[in-house]
Structure 1
Amino acid sequence: MAAEDDRVTVVVASRNRRDDLLASLPAHRAPVILVDNDSTDGSADAVAAACPEVRVIRLPRNVGAVARTVGVRAATTPFVAFADDDSWWAPGSLSEAATTLAGHPRLGLVCAKILVGPEERTDPVSELMAASPLPQDLTAPGEALLGFVACATMVRRSAFLAAGGFDRVVRFPGEEERLALDLAAAGWAMSYVKDIVVHHHPSPSRQPPSQRQYGIARAATLTALMRLPWRDAVGQIRHVAAQSPSHRSGVVQGLREAPAALRRRRPIPAEVAAMRRLLVRW
């Protein structure tokens, strides 16, 4: 398939999702870098054989979302669109997102509307973003954000790398929060633009809900320790721990990993903390 916009590379990070990759990769309308997280199901070999135009980077171990950072470093285009092994950008959306970023120099990333499944229902997280209570940034289009969904996001490569990309402490899932806070702290705007669309057909090979809750709680704990003012960090950790036994277990694991987070502690500026508090109250 011809590239839709030569300013864009699509980065896909995956592990043990061979069939999903073989189904989704042909739908991408840009050069693709697949970063394989040490799959054991032959994903990398299968993609190399079936999709020779895809650049495959094979990692010797599973590094979670850091694989996306590896892909962004390998890209040479000014903008990088992320996709999961079960998602792809709708026709025209890669070009529209790139044009949006090119036309707004303060914009660090654009998050698209997610349509789920063959029925194309709007993902509830997209509905939340569309109703964002944050003040409108007059220098950026769409709705102002302080977070994003990686598989539906195009980033300005330079901003992403300057903010450190996805880190080795959080890894996956829940990797977006710390990066969003750091982008905001560096003065980058983030926007949800509803006319830019990503399709997501959830893979049948998914984590059970309890495992997902555990991972999100762990990530929230580590991000709080790395970036939030102490009062906000304590409140966040308590709130997450109270949600379910799985969340509580994730918080405990996050606290076990606290030394790594605290070595990287850099509290966000007051104005970013105030934006986050507004979202929490909302």
Structure 2
Amino acid sequence: MIVPRTGHRAQVITELDPTRPAVTCVVASRNRREDLLASLPRHEAPVVLVDNASTDDTVAAVRAARPEVTVVPLPDNTGALARTVGVERAGTPFVAFTDDDSWWAPGDLAKAVEIMRAHPRLGLLAARILVGPEERLDPVCEVMAASPLGTDPDLPGPSLLGFVACAALVRAEAFTAAGGFDPVVRFPGEEERLALDLAAAGWGLAYVDEVTVHHHPSTRRDASAVRQAGLWRSRVLTALMRYPLRDLAGQVLSALRAGRPGLRGLAGALPRVPAALRRRRVLPTTVMSGVRELRS
């Protein structure tokens, strides 16, 4: 059941308990105080902010300006694992992952929850992303809309094996059963391992163009070369945890061929190899076939 509040804001509430929200916005952040103070008022559901050991006084500033926000300060930077902490704290059946520089369009979070409820196998909904004040369509949305995996009859849009974390709504039970975000694949590129495990467990992931997330990229971002190396690190670690050996070898070879970013990514992955091997669980053939189709 969706009940609008006065004005443009809306709150999604549960059918069994009309006083309890059905969805929480979980934000993981580090050293982006000003971005947070600008984006937090835009969220149309309760917010859990998990702070990754910021040194810019984020925690105090948010607590003073937005006392309704649940702030969870972590002593260390845990990367994407902070979102898993946020889901545990949220306690709602649905969780929207919104970054410190993104937010759902007015009314669309409530609409997304309605879509999730209407499609019980849907474990993750990926929204359309509009970038910046000019609202440019993020190119990744065109890729997701044209997914070669097609659209299953019980899903509301094209099937996926990946997503963008700042614009995703998850079913909490599916997220938790799939292990959430892990301590091995931190950030960026943390989405693939979770997407693969959701699919392996039988949950659907779909791109839904009817709902929108706004993303105004923070000015406090890693340089492009650093980010590309991080993406290769995550790809290799994900492959080590989930791919059959021949596909793992192909991913390592791709990293080698990518030049400096790939080499830096491989070097960054090395210290985490033992932890990745402890979590290794090869994907079912059906899911791995989809991975190969997407990479072909």
Q: For 1:257, what is the secondary structure of its paired residue? A: helix
Q: For 2:110, what is the secondary structure of its paired residue? A: helix
Q: For 2:212, what is the secondary structure of its paired residue? A: strand
| Aligned counterpart for 2:82 among listed residues 67, 74, 77 | 67
Equivalent residue number for residue 251 of structure 1: 266
Percent identity of paired positions between Structure 1 and Structure 2: 60
1:116 is aligned to 2:139: no
Equivalent residue number for residue 4 of structure 2: none
TM-score, normalised relative to structure 1? 0.98
1:5 is aligned to 2:12: yes
The amino acid of 2:287's aligned partner reads V
Structure 2: tracts of 5 or more residues without a match:
1-7, 14-21
User: Does the Cα contact within 8 Å between 2:9 and 2:107 map onto a contact in 1?
Assistant: no
Q: How far apart, CA to CA, are the structure 1 residues paired with 2:152 and 2:197?
A: 17
Question: Which aligned pairs between 1:65-214 and structure 2 lie closer than 5 A?
Answer: 65-214=80-229
Q: CA deviation at 1:216?
A: 0.6
Q: How far apart, CA to CA, are the structure 1 residues paired with 2:259 and 2:215?
A: 27
Deviations 1:50-82 (A, max 9, x none): 001111001011000000000001112110001
Q: CA deviation at 1:260?
A: 1.1
Equivalent residue number for residue 47 of structure 2: 32
Q: For 2:11, what is the secondary structure of its paired residue? A: coil
Q: How far apart, CA to CA, are the structure 2 residues paired with 1:254 and 1:203?
A: 26
Q: How far apart, CA to CA, are the structure 2 residues paired with 1:108 and 1:153?
A: 10
Once structures 1 and 2 are overlaid, which stretch shifts more, 149-158 or 245-254?
Answer: 245-254
Q: For 1:265, what is the secondary structure of its paired residue? A: coil
Deviations 1:158-202 (A, max 9, x none): 000000000001111111000001000000000000011000001
Q: CA deviation at 1:258?
A: 1.2
Equivalent residue number for residue 230 of structure 1: 245
The amino acid of 1:275's aligned partner reads G
Q: How far apart, CA to CA, are the structure 1 residues paired with 2:48 and 2:150?
A: 36
How many residue pairs are counted as aligned between the two chains? 281
Deviations 1:115-139 (A, max 9, x none): 0001101001111101111032111
User: Does the Cα contact within 8 Å between 1:35 and 1:68 map onto a contact in 2?
Assistant: yes
User: Does the Cα contact within 8 Å between 2:9 and 2:106 map onto a contact in 1?
Assistant: no
**Cα RMSD over matched residues?**
1.0
Q: CA deviation at 1:257?
A: 2.1
Q: How far apart, CA to CA, are the structure 1 residues paired with 2:139 and 2:9?
A: 32
Q: How far apart, CA to CA, are the structure 1 residues paired with 2:150 and 2:216?
A: 32
Q: CA deviation at 1:3?
A: 4.3
Once structures 1 and 2 are overlaid, which stretch shifts more, 256-265 or 78-87?
Answer: 256-265
Q: CA deviation at 1:214?
A: 1.1
Moved beyond 2 Å, runs of 4+: 1-4
Q: CA deviation at 1:241?
A: 2.6
Equivalent residue number for residue 17 of structure 2: none
Structure 1: tracts of 5 or more residues without a match:
none
Q: How far apart, CA to CA, are the structure 2 residues paired with 1:156 and 1:124?
A: 25
TM-score, normalised relative to structure 2? 0.93
User: Does the Cα contact within 8 Å between 2:145 and 2:158 map onto a contact in 1?
Assistant: yes
User: Does the Cα contact within 8 Å between 1:3 and 1:29 map onto a contact in 2?
Assistant: yes
User: Does the Cα contact within 8 Å between 1:147 and 1:176 map onto a contact in 2?
Assistant: yes
Deviations 1:73-97 (A, max 9, x none): 1112110001110000001110111
